[in-house]
Structure 1
Amino acid sequence: MMFLSLSAKAEERLTLWYSHQDNSFIELLVSEFQKENNINISLVQFDPEKIKAEILLGAQYGGLPDLVIFPSDFIGLHSLMKLSSIPKGWLSPELSQKAMMTAYVDDKFWGVPVIQGNNLLLYYNKKLVSQPVSSWHDIIDTKQKWLDKNILPIGWNYLDMYYFIPFLSAFNGWPIIDGEISLNTPEMVKALKYYRYLSEQKIINPECNYTCSQSDFIQGKEAYAINGDWAYQDLKKAMGDALGVALLPTVDGNVMHPMSSTIVLSLPNYNRHAAHKKTLIKKFAKFIQRSSIQKLVYKETRLLPTSDKLLNRYQQQATGDEKILFKQFELSKPMPSTIKMSIAWQAMAIGFKRYEDGLSAEKTAEFMQHIAIQQWKRLSKK
């Protein structure tokens, strides 16, 4: 957790929690807002794996912030997180329908989409790779060349199920189908077996987490890395012209479809605030949707705007890395924002640990579904 206070002899104070890796994006929003408003905004950055638990704890025992910025799938837990709904009038008319629907659950809006994308893609080191691979077969076929140089062919956060989803998609599977949790499927079994097969091929270190993998890639210890669009700016700063960007490799000729979502601004306990603080929060929510602010964020970070008009313009103008970023976003599939998706994440994570401990793929898929259904029944009774 990191704490930062951005202030300038301010009279009002707000606290904002977030977990996005590119903290320059958040700081940019806040500093631009403070240029027009006499306010102190305290920023608290959490590890992406911990912020959900922190918000749930804050909702249960007290201590919630005024504002949170997090992935849109969190809003499925709006009731447990004590989020206040967002009036539709707060949303910009330029907001894309796709982005808008990521914030819409249970007939209400629970967040203001700030940026979109949040999807995985393939990075490579141009000092090591002249032409990026297009399939997993290519990575496996050339693995010995890298291993002989004491370089891992590829790295990613293997135990994080967000990275598993594109493999599931390549086998035509998806965790939520027609609004229902769908984990005990032949597609899940095939994806689990293939995922383990890649680990057995020694092309990746399955024990290397997100921080470890990103660090190894930057240091030239990995030829390729799977990471999110959120990491582009950090990688570019660290590697400069050595950074390459490509589409995710195909699996037996099948395209991988990473999940995409929006990063939304949500309001815990908004209705309990005094009138003057409510006015300030609304002002901030509208400010971050301004066309000028969306342009500035894209210019500085290459994070995709939620405005249809701006998105289309930048896509038409895109060249080089930007062209790949847009193309991979087009190949992504929206992540459901329902509570069932939150349940599915937990069930997949627990089930995958069993799989790593030796449970068969078939039994793992069955176990994942069982956990998910039991959790859904428990939450449905509340």
Structure 2
Amino acid sequence: MRQRFVAAAACAALALSVAAGCGRDSSGGSETAKAVGEGKASGEITVWAMGTEGEKLAEFAKGFTAENPDAKVTVTAVPWEAAHQKIASAIAAKQTPDVSMIGTTMQGEFAKTGALDPTPTDLFQKSAFFPGAWDTTVVDGTSFGVPWYVETRGIYYRTDLAAKAGFPDGPKTWDDLTAMTKAMQTKAGAKWGINLQPPNKTGSWQSLLPFAWSNGADIAAGGKYTFDTPEMTEALQYYQSFFTQKVAPPSLPAGSMEPAFVKGEVGAFISGPWHVGILNDQGGKDFTVAPMPTGKSSTSFIGGSNIAVFKDAKNRDAAWKFLAWLSKPDVQVKWYQTVSDLPAVQSAWTDPALTGDKILKVFGEQLKSAKAPPPYPTWEQVSAVLDTEIEKVCSGREEPAAALKAVQQQADAIGTGV
């Protein structure tokens, strides 16, 4: 799975605003977002960005400096695997850049240090963004930064195999997904009906949680984790069923899933929009994407990345003006055309560059109801526990109810960190 974690816009030009509310700094006091000065940006804006974004942003930012000739954007590319430690060390040493990408699962941790500047209410509007993406910026009621880009998950399936299985329009419900993937094996000749994220790999929680949310489960409520619930148990039982009934493989060798899907050996899998290009590059045909199947709802996982300004920023106002520029709908579309990052700004999705693609349209609709895990500082620790228990359940070594009880006990011991 692509290592990007969830990911603003002007309705007209730069004007964006969000009802940021009061939050708390690391000492427990309240804080309010400060306004940004008027006029064009000036001076140097230092930015840290990860992955492909880090490689492409410096050139892309020339569009901003063309509009703000007295400003200079200096981008440092940071590998994702080094990002957490680099940001944490910079915060501790008070040597942060003005701006950094912030992985959504890191947002709570870094916000609780008091190092992030609250999102200015005069520049950004909550309603401009996909709700699930905006929620990843909010810690203790205050937004810190804005969603930069987003992704979500859907069901990729072979249309030819689905037709033979009796589901020419793909699965609509949980029962449909079970029946279709089984019939892909028995009627359409697939070796495996569906490939689910290998339960022995880090991040399998990203495939489980859409089923949990679709079943009405909340994994956090009242300021604590809530895994040990009937809704969550039922979702994990459903997820387990694909392994116990041998519809999904226990695991596949690295790099073998896509070729197997292209050959028709695997009928379906769950993934995000980046897989379209991968499949096309491998000669994939006869495939499309369906929304996550409905339990009580159709709800998927939202990922991507946020981008934030530090309180120690040397050029704070210009930094926020740069983020406001990145959040303009037309700029979001240009960024998508540059690196294939999907816009976090809802109005950008009316552009023909996105509306003309039927698969992207599915992801765009799914984003409207997609959710992210709670922005608790301890989420990465707790999700590692959840991964471990998912593996036990899917390998038949533990029952779902017992696994979730174990997750709950460890999550309670770890706490939320807020």
Give TM class, smaller chain: 0.7 to 0.9
**1:154 aligns to what SS in structure 2?**
coil
Matched, 1:266 2:299: no
50-59 or 169-178, which deviates more: 50-59
- Which of 156, 174, 185 aligns to 1:143? It is 185
1:265 Cα deviation from its structure 2 partner: 0.6
1:257 Cα deviation from its structure 2 partner: 1.8
Q: For 1:190-339, list aligned pairs within 5 A.
A: 190-208=234-252, 213-214=257-258, 216-217=260-261, 221-239=265-283, 242-250=286-294, 255-260=297-302, 263-267=305-309, 270-273=310-313, 275=314, 278=316, 281-299=319-337, 303-311=341-349, 317=355, 320-339=358-377
Consecutive unaligned residues of structure 2, counting only runs of 5 or more, are 4-42, 66-71
RMSD: 4.0
Seen in structure 2, the aligned counterparts of structure 1 residues 60 and 368 have a Cα distance that, compared at 3 Å, is farther
Seen in structure 2, the aligned counterparts of structure 1 residues 61 and 18 have a Cα distance that, compared at 3 Å, is same
Seen in structure 2, the aligned counterparts of structure 1 residues 56 and 321 have a Cα distance that, compared at 3 Å, is same
Q: For 1:66-215, list aligned pairs within 5 A.
A: 67-79=99-111, 83-89=115-121, 91-93=123-125, 95-96=128-129, 98=131, 99-116=133-150, 118-126=151-159, 129-130=162-163, 131-134=168-171, 135=176, 136-145=178-187, 148=189, 151-159=191-199, 160-208=204-252, 213-214=257-258
CA distance in 2, matches of 1:250, 1:100: 24
CA distance in 1, matches of 2:119, 2:365: 33
Matched, 1:16 2:56: no
1:162 Cα deviation from its structure 2 partner: 0.8
TM-score (norm 2): 0.69
**1:155 aligns to what SS in structure 2?**
coil
User: Which residue does the alignment assign to 2:15?
Assistant: none
Seen in structure 2, the aligned counterparts of structure 1 residues 60 and 235 have a Cα distance that, compared at 3 Å, is farther
**1:372 aligns to what SS in structure 2?**
helix
Opposite residue 154 of structure 1, the aligned amino acid is I
TM-score (norm 1): 0.75
Opposite residue 410 of structure 2, the aligned amino acid is I
Question: For this pair of structures, how many residues does the alignment match?
Answer: 356
Task: Give yes or no for contact 2:209–2:301 (8 Å, CA) kept in 1.
Answer: yes
CA distance in 1, matches of 2:257, 2:91: 33
1:376 Cα deviation from its structure 2 partner: 0.7
CA distance in 2, matches of 1:62, 1:210: 41
User: Which residue does the alignment assign to 2:413?
Assistant: 374
Seen in structure 2, the aligned counterparts of structure 1 residues 240 and 193 have a Cα distance that, compared at 3 Å, is closer
- Greater helix fraction, Structure 1 or Structure 2: 1
- Greater strand fraction, Structure 1 or Structure 2: 1
**2:106 aligns to what SS in structure 1?**
helix
Seen in structure 2, the aligned counterparts of structure 1 residues 188 and 36 have a Cα distance that, compared at 3 Å, is closer
**1:152 aligns to what SS in structure 2?**
coil
1:121 Cα deviation from its structure 2 partner: 0.2
CA distance in 2, matches of 1:315, 1:341: 35
Task: Give yes or no for contact 1:158–1:209 (8 Å, CA) kept in 2.
Answer: no
Task: Give yes or no for contact 1:69–1:264 (8 Å, CA) kept in 2.
Answer: yes
Seen in structure 2, the aligned counterparts of structure 1 residues 303 and 235 have a Cα distance that, compared at 3 Å, is farther
1:283 Cα deviation from its structure 2 partner: 4.4
171-180 or 314-323, which deviates more: 314-323
**2:128 aligns to what SS in structure 1?**
coil
1:207 Cα deviation from its structure 2 partner: 2.5
Seen in structure 2, the aligned counterparts of structure 1 residues 307 and 266 have a Cα distance that, compared at 3 Å, is same
Consecutive unaligned residues of structure 1, counting only runs of 5 or more, are 3-10
Seen in structure 2, the aligned counterparts of structure 1 residues 329 and 314 have a Cα distance that, compared at 3 Å, is farther
Opposite residue 196 of structure 2, the aligned amino acid is W
Task: Give yes or no for contact 1:13–1:40 (8 Å, CA) kept in 2.
Answer: yes
